[in-house]
């Protein structure tokens, strides 16, 4: 089926408008974030040192940061980002270690960094060793019990209910 000249013109006009809008400054997605806060995803034992890292494309030394209680949304610890310890990559020329070891109250928190880059960490916990690591240890044990077997493999205990893969002498 052949299109009329009017229909072809309309289609070309629409294509030209879409192309022009796509090439306009500011029409593209927002630029990638230029700072991130990296934390221990399992959490921090209450009595041990606690450090997070601000990875930024600009120097954030001297910028204020806060550790915020997720439940109350209040700052429970405040500090200043120290000098950079070096670079991570060409995208992150500045890596600032921030210390909040003085915070020992169990709970769920985020680290919020102000400054030009501005960044917020994922949520993390502060608590007892047992509370923090119980799930990770159980997952690791389950994995090894499922994936590894040997002469003492218990088929009824196995998650996969399979035969042993080891060769037994006859």
User: Per-residue pLDDT tens for 37-56?
Assistant: 999 999 999 999 999 999 99
- Asked if residue 28 belongs to a domain, the reply is no
Residues 118 and 44 both lie in one domain: yes
**d(C-alpha 17, C-alpha 106), whole Å:** 56
Same domain, residue pair 41 and 70? yes
Distances, alpha carbon 167 to alpha carbons 120, 143, 149, 164, in Å: 53, 22, 11, 8
Same domain as 51, residue 120:
yes
Specify whether 80 is located in the same domain as 68: yes
The verdict on 59 and 141 lying in the same domain is no
Is this structure's pTM higher than 0.75? no
Are 113 and 140 members of one domain?
no
d(CA 146, CA 144): 5
Number of domains comprising the chain: 2
Q: Flag whether pLDDT at 95 surpasses 60.
A: yes
Q: Are residues 42 and 122 in the same domain?
A: yes
Q: What are 123-164's pLDDT values in tens digits?
A: 999 999 999 999 999 888 877 776 665 445 665 555 555 555
Q: Which domain holds residue 154?
A: 128-170
Mean pLDDT estimate for the chain: 80
Statement to judge: residues 77 and 135 lie in one domain: no
Task: Mention every residue, 6+ apart, whose C-beta is less than 8 A from residue 169.
Answer: none
Within this chain, do residues 49 and 87 fall inside the same structural domain, yes or no?
yes
Lookup: tokens for 107: 């709970």
Q: 10 in a domain, yes or no?
A: no
Tell whether 113 and 61 lie within a shared domain. Answer: yes
- DSSP letter, residue 42: T
């Amino acid at each position: 089926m052949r299109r009329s000249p009017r229909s072809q013109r309309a289609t070309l006009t629409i294509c030209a408008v879409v192309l022009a809008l796509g090439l306009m400054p500011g029409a593209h997605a927002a630029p990638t974030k230029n700072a991130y806060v990296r934390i221990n995803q399992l959490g921090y034992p209450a009595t041990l040192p606690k450090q997070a890292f601000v990875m930024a494309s600009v120097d954030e030394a001297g910028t204020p940061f806060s550790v915020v209680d997720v439940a109350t949304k209040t700052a429970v610890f405040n500090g200043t980002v120290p000098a950079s310890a070096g670079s991570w990559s060409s995208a992150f020329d500045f890596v600032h270690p921030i210390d909040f070891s003085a915070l020992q109250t169990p709970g769920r928190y985020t680290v919020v960094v102000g400054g030009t880059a501005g960044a917020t960490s994922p949520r993390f916990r502060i608590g007892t060793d047992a509370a923090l690591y119980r799930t990770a240890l159980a997952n690791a044990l389950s994995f090894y019990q499922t994936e590894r077997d040997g002469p003492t493999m218990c088929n009824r205990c196995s998650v996969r209910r399979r035969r042993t893969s080891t060769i037994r002498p006859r």
